[in-house]
Structures are given as structure tokens and as C-alpha cells.
Amino acid sequence: MKKTHLIVFLIPLVFSCAERVPERPNILFIMTDDHAYQALSAYDNRLIETPNIDRLATEGMLFKKAFVSNSICSPSRAVALTGKFSHLNSVRDNLDVFDSTQITFPRLLQQNGYQTAVYGKWHLKSSPQGFDDWAVLPGQGHYYDPEFRTKEGIIKEDGYVTELVTDNVIDFLENKRDKDKPFMVMYNHKAPHRQWWPTMEDLDAINGDSLPLPYNLFDDYQSRGTAAQTAEMRISDHMGLSSDNKIRPELVDKLGFEEFLGWYKSSFTNRYNRLSDEQKQAWDSKFGPINEDFEKNTPQGKALTIWKYRRYMEDYLGTIVSVDREVGRVLDYLDANGLADNTIVVYTSDQGFYLGEHGWFDKRFMYEESFRTPLLMRYPKMITPGTISTKLVQNIDFAPTFLALAQINIPAEIQGQSIVPLLNQSTEEWRDALYYHYYEYPGIHQVKRHYGIRTDRFKLIRFYYDVEEWELYDLEADPNEMYNLYGDPDYENIRNELTQRLEELRTQYGDSDELNQQFIESDIARLKERGWL
Ligand code: SGN
Ligand code: CA
């Protein structure tokens, strides 16, 4: 056969294969650190507008019932990578080291022809494995002039972390990737993690005075057991005037305030000292007048809590202004380079956060604000724009979803479910309940160990270790979770059903009292070894 004839013969074959096997999508997986859904306008626009992130909802799907399985950083990231609950993936708390010999979705994607990269927050101690390129923050990382861990060692970059992480992502897309392969990039922001340092250009972006106060800012925790009362995350008592609210340590002392933790003042000073002279000037022109005003009108009691809440929100939301702008920059890049159609963009956080609800900041509890997390996905080839899902999805579902999209078999050890049938709306069948388990106690913020179940309407929680306390909430009647119904005779049947379903979930996922006991023993031994107990 002559060459030209062969080509003519092959062309239809190539096209028919292409029709049968859809192209595998690129994956852009954006994860922020501590981004509450209350601070994302696709969910709630009372605090902030996030027009760029919101695009993913108007052009894709917004999940109104997306949850984590252990509301704290390192564990959440380990769950996302492995698709397994904390008791099986080596990371139950922020002290654990990720066992990187496990199966992870980036490694499987890499082995199956994807180019993979991770930039920004990592917080798993062991080095990233299964990535062609990476530059991650050591530990929590810094907002200003941060260091990055790379294959070549530690490098320090000048600039603001949210912008630098984005620069890395765009540099990978533009210069580093092999354009013949699909890519998977984990784009992990440090923001809006404590201690909430916005970029200089956003210091005035939010005016705290105009923000509504949360309904339960002065929660007295009366209807609950001791866990909520003893947690050390109240804005009133446990937030630092210096470290968190940016009052100069000398002024804190001069006015006679005591910080809850001894290191709050040095933590502020150390961060301030990292700024260049020019940055210090910009910083002082914002915070000088705030300090002067605080000295003149020193609020006390409830007025001080409200003042701290508003200060907290100015800085927390201020860091989100830049996250939104930078996410916009990457979405624009995808548009300009013809990548938007064949890239699934996922926006989520490692967990939710309290923005004054129950009087708190931080996370950890199985109550809604920290158990839930934002989740938005855009993939024009599969998702109808502007759709809303109210199915119970969880961070165990990321790994199997990405594998399914890449047409890779899902290993049996993965416990989550692919949500592709929700994305293409091919099923109404879905799970009826979620399992949750938090471990880091004793530890910072002192949130007791607990596990529980959430169905569409109810939540049952067991706090254990140094207490034996149960809580039951009716989320329809009491969305703010103010009334524990565990002892209410009207809810006896529901309580019994949930208790049974919870045991089924523990069995299904391989969790047990025996494991709890083992973990308690090893965790306590570790704390003693370090001299923390
Ligand atoms: C730091 C924070 C805590 C926070 C943990 C864990 N204190 O220790 O408030 O709960 O990180 O956060 S700070 O003043 O040093 O910022 S996590 O997101 O990494 O789990
Ligand atoms: Ca976090």
C-alpha cells in the first residue's frame, strides 16, 4: 500500500477511538487553609464578596453539604491524598508524620500518565511523593517572604505567600509541564490561617464595623456537656490581643492585659520583625492608629469581645481578598490558554472555621461551622453550570473522584466514593450518613476527642477519653446547634436509630474502641516523651 493510502485509512480510526475514549481532564485542586463557607459569597455574602471563587459555582456546581472527616489540617490533607479515614492513613493529628509509602491519588495519576505538582501548604512532615514538581511551605509557613521546601532544598522568596504560591502554579502551567500530558496540580493556600496577615494592599479591604455579629457570639454552652465549655478557642478569653489582634505587646502590658498563652507576644514580634522596612511602614500606618485608638478607648467585657471579633474579621477576611484575586488570576490563565473546558477545577478548604459562632475561632469540633467545608467544582464537559448539590459528600471522596475522572481503577483500600455520578447527575442514590472522628486531645485549644454521625437532619456525637458525654442535635429545628437533645424523651427513637447507625459506620470503616484505646496510649506516651504532659 502506498503511504498516502495508509494515512487515509488511519484517519477514521483515530477519530473513532477519540470518540469512544473521552479525553482525560486536567485537574486543578485548590485547597485553602481554614476557609469558612461563611466567608465565601457563593454560600453567604454577609461578610465578604468573593467574585472569582464564585465563578466556579455559577459555571459549575456548589456543594451545600460538603464535610471533612477530622477537622484539622494535617489529617484532612492525608484524607484527601489517600481517600481513607484518619485511623487508617497514619495521620490522626497535627503531630503525626504522613506515611508516604501509601497509595495516594497523585502517585496513581503520575503512574498513569499525568504530570503532577503541588505548591503551597503541605503540613505532612514527610516530603511530597508522587509529584513531578513541588514547592511547599515548611510547617505552617509564613505570610511574608516565606521559605519553600523544594527538591533542591529550602529557598526563601520575597513577596506575599498567596501571590507566590499562585506564581508557582502559573509557572508550572506555562513553562514546566509537558503539554502532551494531562496535569494535576494541587494549589494549596496558606491563607486564611491564623494569624491572619493580609497583604499590605488589602489592609483596609474590610471594615469590621459594618459586619453583623454572629447570633451566638455569647453562647453560654449551657445545654451541652463539658466539651464546648472547656475548649480554649473563645475570642473573648483565648484570642491574643498581640498575636491575633495586632496590638503591640508593650501596649498590651501597659494597659494591664494578660495574654492567654505566654508565647502570643513573641509570636507577634517575631512575625513583625520578618517585615522589610518598607513593609513595616505600611503596616504601621494601618495598625498605628488602631493601637492609639485602643489605648484611648480601651474596651472591656463584652465590648472587648466585640472589638476583638471585628479586628479578627478584618484580618481573616483581608487574607481571603487576596486568595480570591489570585484564584481569579489562575482562572483567567486557563481561559486565555484554552484550558478551561478540559480542566476540572475544585475549590475547597482543609476544613471550616468559626467566625465567632459559639464565641469561637478555630475548628476541630463536629459542629457545622468546622465540620462543613466549602466545595465548588467546575468542569464544563460534565457539570451543568449553576447546579447545586445537597448530597452528603466528604473529603474521603476526592481521591476516588479524581481517579474515576482519569479512568484509573479505584483501589479497594479507598473508603470514599467517586462523586462523578453527582457531577453528571446520573444518580439520585447516595450515602445517607457521614462518619467523623477527631483525636488531638490533650492539645492546643483543648477540644476533647469525639466521634459521631451526621445524617441529612440529625447529628449524634460521643465525647470520650476523660469524659463520657453524648450530644444530639436536630439540625432542622436548631441549625445553630444550641440545644443538646440527647436526654430528651421525644427523641428517644431517633437517638436509638442513630446510635445503631453510628456503630454500623464504625464497623464499615474499620474503626473501634480497641483502636481508640491504642491511639490514646501512644498519643499520651508521645506527649509525655516531649515533656508536654
Ligand atoms: C497553630 C495555630 C492554632 C491552630 C493550629 C492548627 N496557632 O498552632 O490556632 O489550631 O495551628 O491549625 S498559631 O497562633 O500559631 O497560628 S491547622 O490548620 O494547621 O490544623
Ligand atoms: Ca487548616
pLDDT, tens digit (0-9, with 9 covering 90-100), for 260-318: 999 999 999 999 999 999 999 999 999 999 999 999 999 999 999 999 999 999 999 99
- In the chain the domains, ranked by start, together with CATH numbers, are 23-196+314-430 (3.40.720.10), 436-529 (3.30.1120.10)
Going 476 to 478 to 481 to 486, the CA torsion angle's sign is: negative
Contact 242, 249 (CB under 8 A): yes
- Ligand 1 pocket, CB under 6 A: 33-34, 72-73, 94, 123, 140, 193-195, 243, 267, 362, 444-445
Q: For the chain, what is the mean pLDDT?
A: 95
> What confidence tens digit (pLDDT) does each residue in 70-84 have?
999 999 999 999 999
Q: What angle do CA 163, 168, 170 make, to 5 degrees?
A: 90
- Give the side-chain half-sphere CA count within 13 A for 178: 10
Question: Distance, CA 444 to ligand 1 centroid (Å)?
Answer: 8
Q: Whose CA is nearest to atom 16 of ligand 1?
A: 194
Q: Which helix (H) or strand (E) holds 506?
A: helix 492-509
Tell me the CA–centroid distance for residue 250 and ligand 2, in Å.
30
Question: How remote is the CA of residue 35 from the centroid of ligand 2, in Å?
Answer: 8
Residue nearest to atom 7 of ligand 1 (CA): 194
CA atoms lying within 13 Å on the CB side of residue 92:
20
pLDDT surpasses 60 at 89: yes
Residue 90 or residue 5, greater confidence: 90
Distance 35 CA to ligand 1 centre (A): 13
Query: Partners of 509 in the beta sheet?
Result: none
Ligand nearest to the CA of 189: 2
Asked whether residue 232 carries a pLDDT value surpassing 80, the answer given is: yes
How many residues comprise the chain?
533
pLDDT at 23: 86
| Structure confidence at residue 22 (pLDDT) | 58
What was the pLDDT predicted at 225? Answer: 85
Percent of the chain with pLDDT over 70: 96
Is the dihedral angle over the CA atoms 175, 178, 182, 186 positive or is it negative? negative
Strand partners, 30: 187, 347
Q: Distance (Å, rounded) from C-alpha 337 to C-alpha 329?
A: 12
Q: Kindly give the distance from the C-alpha atom of residue 73 to the centroid of ligand 1, in angstroms, as a whole number.
A: 9
- Identify the DSSP state of 351: S
For 94-115, the DSSP string reads TTS---TTS--HHHHHHHTT-E
Q: Read off the pLDDT of residues 378-398 as tens digits, 9 standing for 90 and up.
A: 999 999 999 999 999 999 999
* HSE, side-chain direction, 13 A CA sphere, residue 520: 12
Work out the pLDDT band at 16, boundaries 50, 70, 90: very low
Q: Mean pLDDT over residues 115-137, rounded?
A: 98
Determine if the pTM surpasses 0.85: yes
- Phi and psi of 487, rounded to 5°? -90, 5
Which atom of ligand 1 is found nearest the CA of 362? 10
What is the residue-wise DSSP string for 296-334? HS---HHHHHHHHHHHHHHHHHHHHHHHHHHHHHHHHHH
Mean pLDDT of 136-155: 97
